[in-house]
Amino acid sequence: MTDQKPYRPNVGIALFNADGRVLIGHRFKGDGPEIILPGLDWQMPQGGVDEDENLRDAAMRELWEETSVVSADYLGETDWFTYEFPPYDGPQTHRLAKFRGQRQKWFALRFTGRDDEIDPLTPRNGQPAEFDAWRWERLDRVADLVVPFRREVYRAVAQHFAPFGN
């Protein structure tokens, strides 16, 4: 049963630019439990935490792996949030099939670099690219651009990090 599976430890990143907007990436693949839906294929960077990895370090690693960004300053973080994956009947060998969903801690970071630092297409750390495009967006609008099973968490993140946005 799905409810007996553990949650995958995960970090999410709300990277704010100087105008108070956050970086979102357009997912170009929908694989496994995190399948994307047409028109709802944007999200903020996020990813799994390695065993014994410091959470803030995990957030910086995931941000770099997915966007190439290293120029970012810490602003704050949330408590833990969880969401459930939708039903998945694909191969149980998929890396996420053993989890019921994700347990996430979100980090607010201020981007201190220039936009040309952002490159989501180049694979880094042996990880395939997840995004084929990116843009800056108002944080309070991002929940409407993500798959439905993530919306509640995105709304909570938007409320928590509202002071950093525009």
Dihedral angle at the C-alpha atoms of 58, 62, 63, 64, nearest 10 degrees? 100
The pLDDT > 70 percentage for the chain reads 93
Query: Does residue 1 form part of some domain?
Result: no
Per-residue pLDDT tens over the stretch 22-43: 999 998 876 556 666 777 889 9
Question: Mean pLDDT for the chain?
Answer: 91
Residue 94: the pLDDT is 73
Query: What are 99-110's pLDDT values in tens digits?
Result: 899 999 999 999
Q: Give pLDDT tens digits for 136-165.
A: 999 999 999 999 999 999 999 999 999 998
Read off the CATH number of the domain in which 131 is found.
Answer: 3.90.79.10
Which pTM value belongs to this model? 0.92
Encoded amino acid at 111, one letter: F
Does the residue 2 lie in any domain? no
Return d(Cα 50, Cα 68) in angstroms, integer. Answer: 19
Domain that holds residue 121: 7-164
Residues 6+ apart with CB under 8 A from 47: 10, 11, 58, 61, 62, 65, 66
Q: What is the mean pLDDT of residues 116-126?
A: 94
The domain total for the chain is: 1
Query: 29 and 131 in contact (C-beta within 8 Å)?
Result: no
Report yes or no on 129 lying in a domain: yes
